Structure formats: structure tokens, C-alpha cells
Amino acid sequence: MSLVINTTTPEGIVLAADSRQSYRNMKGMARIGSENAIKIFEINRRIGVGITGLAFLPEGSVQKNVSQYIEEFRRDSKVKNMEVKDVARKLNHVFSQKYQWKEQLEQIKFNIQNDLKSKGCTMLQMEDEGPLLKFSFRTPQGTIENGIARPDPIELLVAGYNQDGTHKVYSVTIPGPVQKLRDGKKPNMEYGSSWIGQGDVAARIVLGFDGRIQNIEFVKEAIQKRNEQEIQAQLRGLEYAIQWGTMSLQDAIDFATLMIQTTSAIQRFSDGINADPGDMPGVGGPINVAVITPDHGFVWVKKKKLHFEDSEVDLDNEPRL
């Protein structure tokens, strides 16, 4: 996993990401593969993309880094004039074509059935709802439990300015939808912060809770007695009141990098949560930061360079063939 943070302010847009890249080996164990992965990309002079989730996809007999698909996409001659929404939709299409997630879903079904059988449980029902797999089973004690599983997602944050100067931010989930998060033309949607990847720490800090609160029994009971929208509205009362519309670009950079640094620090000292121990410390390594403004477009604030001993090189500033 990873963490990509977007903060949108009147002065401009910030994209920040960590550099850790993890993977599962042949035994299914999660391992850290690199602390030097690039997760932020300039698509054109007005638009940037951050990516988290599945790091490699099989292509032929080899595993191909998902970043290579983005690099191929940005070299397309049509990308220069694309709007933010176009980039989000096109990338969703590109990765939906490359990612054979239905095959992974079948493997997940097989693993769940074997796991429940080994524990003496009886499968009662299993059905697909798009990329979600919902199932219920009876435990050896006679209680009925429900579960949800899904293939490992690829997540994107697409942020930038259209040619008319308006800004937009979209989240893209593969498999899944394209959702608009920010819109410079719509009141109450102009400014704010969003994140993809391991965002539980950022959510706890800003919102006051993370999404796993819905797995707690008393919250489930409250949702059944009332409704999910009402419970969410009450929980939103815990959110910090941050004035995104008055935030400077420098403050937005500080906020985004603080969320990544804090997540990395918490993961260093923790091993998941008590209700779900054994989480992967997927956030770490140097932080890359880019800003996008109406006047200057996409600009790197901090980007890793290639280096050896005292020498380093930034390939973006080197002559091209």
C-alpha cells in the first residue's frame, strides 16, 4: 500500500506521496520491495496523478510496474489537451483493460471456502456484487457471520486545472467507479483534502475516526436502528474544522506532508489495530511533493533523484534523445 494526499486551496493544488513499494511473494507474505517508488506523475502541464494500491500487473510472462502504464499514457499525443475528467476516465479504462481482477476474485472465493472449511465453518451464501464478494457462514458455535472481500484495488487521484482555468479532483478505483471530489464551479466542493491508500491515520486525525468503526458491534446496531447516513452525520461532528478556503499553498504542503510523516511514524510503532492486527507498514521512504497552480502549472517541490555516492541526477532536466 501507500499514501497519496491531495489538498486543494484557492492558491493551487498539492499532491504528496510516500515512496514505499510493497508486494506479496510466492507464499502470499507481504514484503517491502523498495523505498524509492514514484507515485506522482505529471500528465500534462495542468494535471497530475497520484497512485496507490496494487504495484504490479502481469503482462505476458513478467510483472509490469503500474507506473509504466501511466508513463505510456502520458506520452500519448492527445494527452496535452485533455481535461481533468478526460484523464480520470481514460486512466480508468486503461487499467480496467490491463487488470484481470475477475480472475483474482475467483481465487479469493476459493481461498475463503478453504479457510472456512478448515475452521469448521459452514458456507451459507456467497454472491458477487460487481467487484465485491459478499458471503455468510455458520461458525462451529452456531452463530451466523457475514463477510465482504474484494480484489486488491488500484487507486488514483487525478487533480488539476481545465483549459478554462477551473479546477477539479477525481478519485479512480479499479475495479470501481470514477468519483468527483472537488469542483471549482460548485459551492462547498471547491476546496479540501482527500487521500487514497492507507488513509486510516489521516482519517483519525482529521475526521476523528476511520472507516473500520463500522465493524464495531454497537455501531452496526446503531445503523440498524437508525440509518447509515444519520450515523455518519453524527460522526462528522468529530471532524476538525479546517478552513481549507483560506489555506495558503505552503500550509497545504505542510498539511499533506504531515499526514504522510505521521502515518509512517504510527506504522513504525504499531501492528495494525486490536480488532485487526498484522497490518502492513506500507507508508515510508522519502516524500515527493508537487503543486499545480493556474499560472505555473505542474511544478515539482520535492522529487527523488538518482544518486550514487556524492553524485545525483534528475532525468527530467537531462537532454532527451
Q: Is residue 74 classed as helix, strand or coil in its secondary structure?
A: helix
pTM value > 0.95: no
The CB-side HSE value for 153 (13 A sphere, CA atoms) comes to 21
* Mean residue pLDDT across the chain: 92
Residue 4 has pLDDT above 90, yes or no: yes
Residue 94: predicted pLDDT: 94
Note whether 47 and 84 are within 8 A (CB): yes
Grid cell, residue 178, equals 470514477
Q: What is the mean pLDDT of residues 190-195?
A: 97
C-beta neighbour count of 296 within 10 angstroms: 10
More confident: 225 or 208? 208
